[in-house]
Chains A and B, each alone.
Chain A
């Protein structure tokens, strides 16, 4: 149903046509044999009515009605009738809606999305291909029109459509890289259809949607306080194109991140202030996804202050608005998962770059048992770093399938292994810093030699101490280097910024003396007193109401 990074149901099941199950055999039968299908299953009347009404709403452009149908009725009917089986075949539906081609494309998009999300064993090769072709049809229809097409869809739908498109590409790339379970015929089919789910094709679609809508120009004008419509052009003024353009930028952010291209990932969001509300950013799932990928890219670029800012601000937003999307369960799962991943990433960033954050986020970190993980990481537990990273990182992929003559092995983990090793190299380089930090925290001034003595832990010969001094000096330089990073303050590009030391502990060396500057946070009494006052008021009121 949704572009969740994590569900990849066909991971172990691999890919084999499960012809013994009723559903997959029907789903594989894409040409549609109505008689055959009806022997197993007859479309309930309520579904028929729903589809006809749905069709009508699309045609008439009843946007509020569509929103309701998309967000409520479809999931409800799915739960009731299609929990574990696909929605009705194309051919069965087509007759209900007079073969309306546009509606059928939209229907098939939902149909395949449901298969990806709910059907055990995941989509078959054929279904993956057909879903791709269906996306081609959809985007061709939208992009090759001479005048803006008369189609209006709810923003949430548009977002999930673009997000799902990228997700299915990701899913295909993972599937494609697992050579170990594929038969020669399957490999042949795959090798002969290299255009399907090709990365350039996906990039091309997203870039075309961006260009067609003039969304970049619109965002630039908007950021400068102007009216986006003045540069939107015929297409970009239409909500459909404008929003598809905007969501495609976020799609590109995700795609670049999956390929390890963090520079482009951040760059593509130029003129979007991630943590700011705007006329474009009102789909919570989109904002959450945006912050996740932006924060992650910052973390990889060692811009911890920016990563921490990005994560805390979205996590606060989620805390405050949780009830709003709690009702929609399928979104909820995705959001919960991504939230959890962000808490883990935030924990990693805070270990590498200790800094004050909002008290309520701190509280949740405690509740989520992140403190224990942080404690382990502070004490140099590399395994903990790695497992937290692997849990919380995007599912990286390599843009191209393994060469035709590769051994039949599983190549799907290579990209994630590589990104993990890049990150772990960074952690390795910083592994002495927490120890040094813990000593420095205890002093305001500390001679180099004394710290060297602490670090060497009771080695007494002066020769060792000299060596220790030398090593210590290197670590101290490394400390300063790693803690001084680019931090964004203003301007349209998230890549820009100034070098700052934002971490809570800092120091300088004057010849052989270390001078330490710590950040001291005074207790916050305000909140405490307000709570007590309110409690007292409440008590007082109750007392007044007592009748003796």
Chain B
């Protein structure tokens, strides 16, 4: 359904049509569908926030929360910042939005253990978003993937939200990592991350002219 709507919606985002408040109900419905079906369309969601910016009386806190939570699921992309910039201070002060802002802040700082603790106390906040936890785990794996060569198994499981052994194995396999005793081997990083030396290269052509003039 989300796929089918993508077409309809994309025509609503062209040119000046993007600012037509009559499109708002459709676009809001599309947000709900994204939450339900674990789909994502940043551009459409930004258009909703834009319409709220232009028509403050239509502001819907429930939809806004879903948009923000969906933006969290798209970490490490900076969609969350883009959404935040379209809101205003008053809206950010609303309780449910403050809570999501806090979650975003913790995720940005990569304090994953704290994130899982907080989220477990607020199941109602995220229940509408299908696949929310796994999306966050994807982000965790992204950060682990760029940081570690080998990581302690227990630490990895903590970062993923204290997952059980089977789940851990699932994520390890999904990313092509290997278990190695109490460590997990992520990747050989020294191929990608190595000291760069920038040396000046002067070729003959570039000194030719000056040499010629010095005779």
* A residues in contact (CB < 8 Å) with B: 199-200, 203-204, 207-208, 210-211, 259-264, 300-303, 356, 398-400, 403, 414-415, 417-419, 421-422, 425-426, 429, 444, 473-474, 476-478, 480-482, 484, 486, 499, 501, 504, 506-511, 515, 517-526, 530, 533-534, 537
Contact = CB atoms under 8 A, between A and B. Distances in A.
A211 B17 CA distance: 13
A414 B197 contact: no
Given A418-B92, A422-B81, A426-B81, 9 more contacts: A199-B54, A210-B15, A399-B54, A418-B87, A418-B88, A429-B109, A510-B148, A520-B198, A521-B198
Contacts of A522: 197-200
Contact of B147 (A417, A477, A521): A477
A474 B124 CA distance: 27
Interface string B5-42: 00000000001100100000000000000000000001
Contacts of B152: 511
B15 A207 contact: yes
A521 B196 CA distance: 8
A481 B84 contact: no
Interface centre among B42, B146, B152 (most CB of A within 10 A): B146
B194 A517 contact: yes
Contacts of A517: 193-196
Contact of A511 (B92, B151, B190): B151
Interface of B is mostly: helix
Contacts, number: 151
Contact of A481 (B86, B143, B196, B197): B143
B143 A480 contact: yes
B150 interface: yes
B111 A520 contact: no
Contacts of B155: 473
B143 A537 contact: no
A508 B193 contact: yes
Contacts of B82: 262-263, 301
A13 to B, nearest CB: 27
B208 interface: no
10 contacts: A200-B19, A259-B53, A259-B86, A300-B81, A301-B78, A302-B81, A403-B56, A429-B109, A477-B144, A508-B147
B89 A418 contact: yes
Contact of A509 (B54, B92, B147): B147
B76 interface: yes
Nearest to A536: B214
A219 B112 CA distance: 45
A520 B196 contact: yes
Contacts of A300: 81, 85
